[in-house]
Amino acid sequence: MDLDKFKEEFGQSGLTQKTFADLKNISSSMVSYYLRKAKLKNQLHDEGTAGFSALRVSHQPLHLFCDPSEIDFTSA
């Protein structure tokens, strides 16, 4: 099923989902389902790679907020 073509055809028809469904011999819930799938497909396409972004990891040295010589490591 070409969802983009389906959505375009429905939009150009000017019909309600129920009337369009009757014309295509499918249930109105299937029309709604196909339109929703087409919308989600286009949203994911617009966002790039299915909602994932590149993540760059770099090593940052640990900065202590006090002088390490002031820490008492003997008490637990």
What are the extents of the domains in the chain? 3-46
User: Mean pLDDT, the chain, as a whole number?
Assistant: 83
Q: Whose CA is closest to 20, among 41, 35, 36?
A: 35
Amino acid type, 25: N
pLDDT for residue 19 is more than 60: yes
Output the pLDDT for position 62: 65
Higher pLDDT, 13 or 73: 13
Query: pLDDT-based confidence at 7, cuts 50/70/90?
Result: very high
**pTM: predicted TM-score of the whole model, two decimal places:** 0.58
What is the DSSP secondary structure assignment for residue 25, as one 8-state letter? T
- The arithmetic mean of pLDDT across residues 32-52, rounded, is 78
